């Protein structure tokens, strides 16, 4: 039962299957052959789309970063604090359900994998702009605020990676930790 997909649909399908596998297993335990099998395509076709496992992984990270940004698009109908909280919920939920994928992205980026780092950094920069836009209504955005927000993103990543390895804290508590730390870092009292 082979389905006839367009090039773009096939590419999407392969990336989705790959994201599912990389989410739950360490990088070295994902075989690209398995992706072909699940998709019901030949390995040759898979390699036609993604020449190496590394390329495949990088494209998955790129697609997932874009998806996460869309999923966490701020709702203009809620307060700035509500937008921040909702955005964090999306990221924490994603990390929880894609633990291995989340780990491998941040480890690869830290280990100097330039391509993965650039994809992650671009996603983080887009997110940072959102956070700064929200804060701009509450405080002056100066060099100190920008540095505090950049470092806060590192804090959030550290919190999440720590939590994934040792998930004893409730997700809401983790989110509240991130929220109150951001407000303290930028030196303002959280709006009520």
Residue from 111, 114, 137, 192 touching a copy of itself (CB under 8 A): that is 111
Length of the chain: 192
CB 182 within 8 A of CB 150: no
Copy the structure tokens of residue 142: 């100066």
Residue from 53, 80, 128, 150 touching a copy of itself (CB under 8 A): that is 150
Copy the structure tokens of residue 113: 């994998």
187 touches a copy of itself (CB under 8 A): yes
Within 10 angstroms of residue 184's Cβ, the number of other Cβ atoms is: 13
Kindly indicate which of the ranges 4-12, 31-39, 120-128, 150-158 contains the residues binding a copy of itself, using the contact rule CB under 8 A.
150-158
| Of the candidates 108, 114, 110, 74, the residue with the CA atom closest to the CA atom of residue 91 | 74
Residue from 147, 172, 175, 191 touching a copy of itself (CB under 8 A): that is 147
Q: Interaction with a copy of itself in 164-183: which residues (CB under 8 A)?
A: 166, 168-169, 173, 177, 180-181, 183
Pick between residue 78 and residue 151 the one whose CB is nearest to a copy of itself.
151
Distance CA 63, CA 16 (A): 9
Residue from 9, 154, 172, 191 touching a copy of itself (CB under 8 A): that is 154
The CA-based diameter of the chain, rounded to the nearest angstrom, is: 59
Kindly indicate which of the ranges 24-32, 57-65, 82-90, 151-159 contains the residues binding a copy of itself, using the contact rule CB under 8 A.
151-159
DSSP codes, 15-29: HHHHHHHHHHS-GGG
Residue from 45, 78, 136, 158 touching a copy of itself (CB under 8 A): that is 158
Residue from 78, 110, 125, 136 touching a copy of itself (CB under 8 A): that is 110
112 touches a copy of itself (CB under 8 A): yes
Residue 126 C-beta: closest distance to a copy of itself, Å:
19
Pick between residue 97 and residue 180 the one whose CB is nearest to a copy of itself.
180
**3-class secondary structure, 149:** helix
CB 60 within 8 A of CB 15: yes
């Amino acid at each position: 039962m082979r389905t006839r997909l367009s090039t773009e649909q096939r590419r999407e399908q392969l990336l989705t299957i790959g994201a599912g596998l990389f989410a739950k297993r360490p990088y070295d335990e994902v075989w690209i052959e398995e992706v072909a099998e699940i998709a019901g395509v030949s390995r040759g076709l898979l390699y036609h789309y993604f020449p190496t496992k590394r390329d495949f992984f990088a494209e998955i990270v790129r697609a997932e970063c874009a998806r996460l940004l869309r999923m966490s698009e701020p709702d203009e109908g809620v307060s700035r604090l509500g937008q921040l909280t909702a955005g964090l919920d999306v990221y924490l939920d994603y990390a929880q359900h894609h633990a291995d994928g989340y780990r491998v992205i941040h480890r690869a980026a830290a280990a100097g994998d330039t391509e993965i780092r650039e994809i992650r950094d671009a996603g983080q920069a887009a997110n940072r702009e959102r956070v700064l836009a929200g804060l701009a209504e509450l405080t002056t955005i100066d060099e100190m605020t920008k540095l505090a927000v950049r470092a806060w993103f590192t804090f959030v990543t550290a919190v999440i990676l720590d939590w994934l390895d040792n998930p004893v804290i409730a997700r809401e508590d983790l989110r509240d930790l991130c929220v109150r730390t951001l407000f303290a870092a930028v030196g303002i009292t959280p709006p009520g």
